[in-house]
Amino acid sequence: MRLASRKSKGLSLTRRKEIDRDRILDAAESVILDSGGRSFTLDAVAERAGISKGGLVYSFATKDGLVRAALEREVARFQEAVGRRLDSKPVKPFELVLAHIEEALDEDDAATRKAAFLVTALVHAPDMMEPARRYYRALLDPLLAESGEAHEVRNALLAVEGIFLLRGLGFVEVSTEEHRSVLRHARDTVAGALTKHRGADTP
């Protein structure tokens, strides 16, 4: 009975750490959204999470480590949302890109700004960009072609992610409507290419 009690206690402590970690990441995202990333410091995140800076550093020793964890969670969230659009079934590359663009269109401006900050905040630390790299490779690598529908789809996706990153880095002032206009154009391009591709596959 004593061993079982210790085991249960251990499970409880593990669960507590998971809750605290999510609370910290929620606080980090809140600071990003409120300040546009301008006041993103460990002190600001600790204050928003209602914990000491020492408690924060125990979970995330550096600001980059915290940003990477938030980026991993954001990539996972977006992938899950795209997967729901596809009913989590195996799909072809064009269908995956179309679902990606449609999900981006449905995201509100705050979610887009948060994601852009998380990606661009780590440009100085390329080794920490792996979560985003893996996701983009899965989308783009199957579309390598010099012509045809795959070329069109790849160009549309590059336009979508290009404006996302330009806006996130603050290189250009892009309104929400202009951003969405680029996404709608890309969506229509990919949908048209997908229709052609399906027609070519039909005997």
Q: Contact 188/180 with Cβ under 8 angstroms? A: no
Q: What token pair was written down for 66?
A: 């915290």
Q: What token pair was written down for 37?
A: 């990333």
Q: Contact 103/78 with Cβ under 8 angstroms? A: yes
In this prediction, residue 150 has a pLDDT band, given cuts at 50, 70 and 90, of: very high
Helix, strand, coil shares, percent, the chain, to 5: 80, 0, 20
> Percent of the chain having pLDDT more than 70?
89
Q: What is the DSSP letter of 171?
A: S
Domain boundaries in the chain?
Answer: 1-61, 69-203
Is residue 192 classed exposed, middle or buried when 0-12, 13-18 and 19+ CB atoms within 10 A define those classes?
A: middle
Q: Note the pLDDT of residue 9.
A: 45
Using the structure block, give the residue that is written with the tokens 């995140």. Answer: 45
CATH architecture entry for 1-61: Orthogonal Bundle (1.10)
Q: Contact 128/122 with Cβ under 8 angstroms? A: yes
In this prediction, residue 149 has a pLDDT band, given cuts at 50, 70 and 90, of: very high
Q: Note the pLDDT of residue 170.
A: 79
Q: Which of 114, 132, 191, 129 has the alpha carbon at shortest distance from 156?
A: 191
pLDDT tens digits, 4-34:
443 444 444 444 444 488 999 999 999 988 8
> What is the mean pLDDT of the segment spanning 97-114?
92
pTM check: above 0.75: yes
In this prediction, residue 181 has a pLDDT band, given cuts at 50, 70 and 90, of: very high
Count how many residues are written for the chain. Answer: 203
Q: Note the pLDDT of residue 201.
A: 63
Instruction: Report how far residue 194's alpha carbon sits from residue 161's, in angstroms, rounded to the nearest whole number.
Output: 19
**Res 124 pLDDT > 50:** yes
Q: Which of 85, 104, 82, 99 has the alpha carbon at shortest distance from 190?
A: 99
Q: Note the pLDDT of residue 202.
A: 58
Q: Note the pLDDT of residue 25.
A: 94
> What is the mean pLDDT of the segment spanning 38-65?
90
Q: What is the DSSP letter of 146?
A: S
Q: Note the pLDDT of residue 13.
A: 44
- Averaged confidence pLDDT in the chain: 85
